[in-house]
Structure 1
Amino acid sequence: MSASVNGSTIIPAIRYVDCNAAIEWLCTVLGMTRRAVYPGPGDTVAHGELTYGGGMVMLGSASNGGASAGRWISPKDAGGRETSHVCLIMTDDHCRAAYERAKAANAPIVQELTSPSHGGLSFGCEDPEGHTWWVGSYDPWAHPAQEDLQS
């Protein structure tokens, strides 16, 4: 059973070179909300928590130490490649608005606003440090699980 009873039980974590700027961008462009931001030394972020609906992402400054420090690499240092990305689920109207804000912020759009065959609206963009964010209105929790479809 999960340890959390009030929200996400799987929470992605991302490191940023300029975490304060990333927090501002994620809140302004994608509509996330600051839940907690604990400052680190020299204008860094020791630990941050941003929410959207019932979801959360944790973040921190790349210069912070810790167990994961040596395992992290920026997408820019990896030739723009990543091994994962974050999906942000929102309504059609909020998705359209976030797409327009991302374009206005000159975010690289990796997928234009479309209506995928599995439903809803979606688009993909990069944040200022090259992390990919997939934003869409398709809510996998609102659809039957695959095993339910096969029975």
Structure 2
Amino acid sequence: MQLRLLTDEAYNRISTLREVLHKQNRGYGIITIKIHNLTFALPLRSNLNHSHGFKTVFHNGQWNGIDYSKALIIEDIDLRATPFRPRNRSEYDKIKKNKKKIQEKFEEYLTSYINFPKEDGREIYRRFGYTTLVNYHAELNITP
């Protein structure tokens, strides 16, 4: 697991996908997780107001955290070489201390999405309505 920023080229490529966060000129801090030979980039958010993520610190009346619902599939060349450090040192420490838990919970989220019956449109929207995983059905072997 690494804390990095996406390159400008990677950001420009992925920013056109459905449900992707738009943070150009503000950085796009992510952690990377490898699952089944895929590298996932999970963004750090300053307003994590749902349960599909890992909450880190409460700051200015809102939770910061890692957002599983905005996961991206990337290549190693999409990452800047220099490490990313959150503004709050305690957030960085909490992420490092909970690497295994973050990995396990994201894997649960991913598996739940992959195995969820796609024909129930309303229910899938209620559970996964804003996920970026809709862009990666081929990579995740999800058949239409």
Q: Scaled by the length of structure 1, what TM-score is found?
A: 0.28
Larger % of strand: which?
1
Larger % of helix: which?
2
Higher relative contact order (CA 8 A, sep 6+): 2
